[in-house]
């Protein structure tokens, strides 16, 4: 059975002592085969082949979904879904201090903190999963205080709209699902991604649209103007895999693997998270310096750091390392080019400075 790992800042809330791990450390308590992992700012989640979800980390707002509010859980606990509910997908990332899941019937579930109604629920805190209003959900994602859902051919958003991250043409908060406007009609959405006040969609034709916060060129459209509606990012080829990162003001960045095999990034770069060998921000996509002879097939990004898994499963990381989030064990504060972490993974997930990885099946 493949191991699940965690590293970076894995505990930091109020009276909870700041806990950092500079190398991947196995998560205890997961007793079934894991098929997917996801993260929130201080929590990790693992979906098993039987539809069970495990969670670990901070639980101050019930974000572990086990019916409790506890300071911190280093050992994974089972998320307490109603009997008969089988989870088939975990949105990644999750909203801050909260969890999301999609079940086998297409129903979305949410739990944890709901301060800005980013879970599309009426309550402030839910310590156990609650069903959302949306049905036939196939994709979802969340970050900070907003979330996105794909249902019946439409992208919906809930939560805070301060920077236009809801994509509905306003900066107002939405307490119930509101449709994103301006995406090409009739084109299927194949992926959703999100970051601090940012949102994005990948379409079936390989085009990528994003919207929201743009103070450091996070939208990749050559401007630093926020947008409350989707804008298309100009890239030299169709997009295969894309992931937004960022957990606070100014530190957002996006990493994309194109179908021609090249890797591109844009947005904030003051800690080298674009992987170009510099610390210069870019409001248009720039090519990541992938090591010679290496092909990246999956990418992820957190607060100020970026990650990739190559074709043989090696994990690479670059950007900020002040909290050990690169996982190398190095004391270097940052890396402006991808470095080999020294572990093989099947999946990688990161939110803020919190990182999780799924090992290769043994």
HEC assignment per residue over 52-121: CEEEEEEECCCCCCCCCCEEEEEEEEECCCCCCCCEEECCCCCCCCEEEEEECCCCEEEEEECCCCCCCC
Query: Averaged in consecutive runs of 10 residues, what is the pLDDT profile of the chain (362 residues)?
Result: 92 63 96 97 96 96 96 94 98 96 98 95 96 96 96 98 98 97 96 98 98 98 98 98 94 97 98 98 98 98 97 98 96 97 98 97 77
pLDDT in the model for residue 50: 97
pLDDT in the model for residue 211: 98
Tokens of 180: 């994103």
Tokens of 117: 């109604």
CA distance to 72, 173, 311, per residue, from 152 (Å): 38, 23, 33
Tokens of 100: 């999301």
- Residue with structure tokens 């947008």? 227
Burial class (CB in 10 A: 0-12, 13-18, 19+), 360: middle
CA distance to 3, 147, 254, 313, 357, per residue, from 328 (Å): 18, 31, 22, 16, 13
pLDDT in the model for residue 12: 56
- Residue with structure tokens 């670990």? 56
pLDDT in the model for residue 361: 84
pLDDT in the model for residue 249: 87
């Amino acid at each position: 059975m493949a191991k699940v790992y965690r590293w970076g800042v894995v505990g930091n809330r109020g009276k909870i002592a700041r806990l950092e791990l500079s190398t991947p450390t196995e998560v205890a308590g997961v007793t079934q085969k894991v098929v997917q992992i996801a993260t929130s700012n201080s929590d990790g989640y693992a979906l098993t082949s039987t539809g069970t979800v495990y969670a670990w980390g901070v639980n101050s707002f019930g974000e572990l979904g086990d019916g409790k509010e506890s300071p911190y859980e280093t050992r994974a606990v089972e998320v307490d879904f109603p009997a008969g509910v089988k989870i088939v997908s975990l949105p990644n990332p999750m909203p801050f201090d909260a969890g999301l899941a999609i079940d086998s019937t297409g129903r979305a579930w949410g739990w944890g903190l709901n301060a800005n109604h980013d879970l599309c629920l009426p309550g402030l805190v839910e310590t156990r999963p609650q069903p959302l209003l949306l049905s036939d959900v196939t994709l979802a994602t969340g970050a900070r205080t907003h979330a996105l859902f794909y249902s019946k051919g439409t992208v919906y958003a809930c939560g805070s709209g301060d920077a236009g991250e809801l994509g509905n043409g306003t900066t107002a908060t939405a307490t119930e699902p509101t449709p994103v406007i301006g995406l090409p009609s009739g084109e299927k959405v194949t992926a959703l991604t999100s970051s601090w006040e940012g949102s994005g969609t990948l379409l079936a034709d390989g085009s990528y649209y994003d919207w929201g916060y743009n103070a450091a060129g996070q939208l990749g459209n050559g401007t630093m103007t926020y947008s409350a509606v989707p804008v298309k990012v100009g890239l030299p080829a169709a997009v295969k895999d894309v992931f937004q990162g960022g957990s606070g003001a100014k530190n957002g960045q996006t990493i994309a693997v194109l179908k021609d095999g090249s890797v591109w990034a844009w947005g904030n770069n003051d800690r080298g998270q674009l992987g170009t060998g510099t610390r210069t921000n870019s409001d248009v996509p720039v090519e990541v310096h992938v090591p010679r002879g290496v092909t990246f097939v999956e990418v992820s990004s957190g607060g100020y750091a970026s990650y990739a898994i190559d074709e043989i499963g090696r994990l690479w990381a670059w950007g900020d390392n002040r909290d050990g989030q690169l996982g190398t064990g190095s004391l270097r504060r940052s890396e402006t080019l991808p470095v080999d972490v020294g572990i093989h993974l099947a999946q990688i997930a990161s939110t803020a400075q919190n990182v999780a990885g799924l090992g290769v099946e043994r």
